Amino acid sequence: MSTVFKPHEYQQVSINHILDNPRCALFLEMGLGKTVATLTALQHLMREEFCVHKVLIIAPLRVARKTWTDEIDKWGHLDLTVSKMIGNKEDRAAAYFAHADLYIINRENVVWLVDFCGGSWPFDTVVIDELSSFKSNKAGRFKKLRKSIRASSRVIGLTGTPAPNGLIDLWPQMYLLDNGERLGKTVTAYREDYFTPDRKCKDAKGRLITLSYKDRVNTESVIYNRIGDICLSMKAADHLTMPERIVNYVNVDFTPPVRKAYEDFERDQYMEFLSAEGDSEEAVALSAAALVGKLLQFSNGAMYTTAPLDLEYTPSAARYVEVSDAKLDALEDLIEAANGKPLLVFYSFKHDLDRIKKRFGNKVQKFGTDEDQDNWNAGNIEVLLAHPASAGHGLNLQHGGSTVVWFGLTWSLELYEQANARLWRQGQKDTVVLHHIVTNDTADQRVLAALTCKEEVQSALMDALKRKYKTVVDSSPIL
């Protein structure tokens, strides 16, 4: 049964922003209705102004499969037809040639689509849902899309996390919107104009390369001013009645022998183990990045190793050695303290999942299907295990529980915030508690520090682009 759409003021502002700016972005936090606002604006442009005819929507896979069509079915004023270019090549090709108003594709297939279209780009409007997933100028989907999207008269970017790793991420996203008009035609020029090199190292050929950049004086204000005319920013807390959110840190320690092993591996980047079968196995970190990854695994209580020489190594048969139960013990304490209250637990590595399932058995359920979502919201799952990359978009889990446990953290602010927003969102009736199990004096604390820093940069961007409205929205909203 469809619902009558009566837009809130902030939603009407979003609709008007799309109508008034052919190439624009909505930096709206989760729960502010950017999907229905975008659909409402698109329908008006199609049915009333007749200036939009064929729309491409690029989205994360789960969102592409379900969220956009769910919104169309939910709201009574929307009568847009959809063709989903998802699945194998034959299915995608058939969907491409079908007659529809909206053509939805998951972002992994953007390269295929551009190649399939050849030199003829048929979409006069492109909507990029989760625009920040195009934050890398080196990604194939960005390189392909940047050329074709110039033929589209309208481009709409949607995200709640525009700068997940800092302002350096903005250039590719803005380029897709304005072809470099505001932040420059190349990423090199953008870096030279607004940033200075921070960390450097030499590559395999001895060439000096820059690993990271830092903002110059006044970089933030200059960038905000340049993009502010087409970017609309809103925070959920300013417009929605959000549940209280409590952040808690559960600190655990290694035993002295495990602490020594951790420090030895951090220093030597090598460790040898004796498996349960009596085979000698080793863990090796061949680069700084690999070392950090291994240390994060160690912090969680296990670490992948190379296989014995007489076994063929494949990713599906990856072996690991368990080094500590400290986080498992802490998780057990949290489960017992919850006393049957459902917990949503985010893990980082496959061995995290294996060890949690081994420890808690039938008490836990790995998230994987829409049925799992329904069972969680019905209160039928006590502990739901999910990886933030697979449960970060398009899921409404707020009806099944209000407690999140981070067994292992992610470097990605976008995934971190999206994952937390599965429970901390409008419609949640209880206080949301975010537990972080953190091993003291390990790489865990580096990740926490990085997330905090990224969150501050992104919050500053959202605040700077936030508009203050002095007039009441027209009482005759566009529907």
163: domain CATH number is: 3.40.50.10810
Verify that 85 and 197 share a domain, yes or no: yes
Question: Are 218 and 360 members of one domain?
Answer: no
In this structure, the answer to whether residues 306 and 354 fall within a common structural domain is: no
Which of 398, 389, 374, 391 is closest to 245 using CA atoms? 398
C-alpha angle 118/122/125, rounded to 5°? 130
In a domain, 455, yes or no: no
Model confidence band, residue 455 (pLDDT cutoffs 50, 70, 90): confident
Look at residue 119 and tell me whether its pLDDT is greater than 60.
yes
Answer yes or no: is pLDDT of 279 > 70.
no
Q: Are residues 185 and 307 in the same domain?
A: no
Dist. CA 409–CA 100, nearest whole Å: 41
Neighbours of 92 (CB within 10 A): 19
In a domain, 476, yes or no: no
Q: Which domain holds residue 331?
A: 245-252+325-440
DSSP class of residue 349 equals S
**Spatial separation of the C-alpha atoms in residues 259 and 171, rounded to whole Å:** 42
Is residue 465 included in any domain, yes or no?
no
> Does one domain contain both 178 and 52?
yes
User: Do 316 and 333 belong together in one domain?
Assistant: no
Looking at the structure of the chain, the number of domains it has is: 3
CATH number of the domain that residue 428 is part of: 3.40.50.300
- Give the burial string for 118-147 (b: 16+ CB within 10 Å, else e): eeebebbbbbbbbbbbbbebebebbebbbe
Residue 177 pLDDT greater than 50, yes or no: yes
pLDDT at position 67: 87
CB 359 within 8 A of CB 351: no
Tokens of 75: 């709201």
Instruction: Clarify whether residues 369 and 295 are in a common domain.
Output: no
What's the pLDDT tens digit per position in 3-50? 889 898 889 999 999 999 999 999 988 778 899 999 999 999 999 999
**Residues 309, 333 share a domain:** no
State whether 93 and 193 are in the same domain.
yes
In whole angstroms, give the CA distance from residue 189 to residue 169.
Answer: 14
Choose the final residue of a domain: 187, 204, 239. 239
Rounded to an integer, the average pLDDT of 401-429 is 87
User: Per the domain annotation, does 459 fall within a domain?
Assistant: no
Same domain, 199 and 337: no
Q: Does some domain include residue 194?
A: yes
| Entry pTM | 0.71
Q: Are 39 and 7 in contact (CB under 8 A)?
A: no
The yes-or-no verdict on residue 472 having pLDDT over 60 is no
Confidence band, pLDDT 50/70/90 cuts, at residue 467: low
**Same domain assignment for residues 312 and 340:** no
3-state secondary structure at position 442: coil
In a domain, 291, yes or no: yes
Last residue of a domain, one of 269, 290, 322: 322
Provide the pLDDT confidence category of residue 308 given band limits of 50, 70 and 90: very low
| pLDDT band with cut points at 50, 70 and 90 for residue 476 | very low
Q: Tens digit of pLDDT for each residue in 285-294?
A: 777 778 888 8
In terms of domains, do 332 and 318 share one?
no
Q: Which of 303, 322, 341 is the last residue of a domain?
A: 322
Residue in 66, 136, 150, 145 with CA at minimum distance from that of residue 112? 145
pLDDT at residue 260, as a whole number:
92
Q: How far is Cα 65 from Cα 84, in angstroms, rounded to an integer?
A: 7
The verdict on residue 456 lying in a domain is no
Banded pLDDT at 143 (limits 50, 70, 90): very high
Residue 220 counted as domain residue: yes
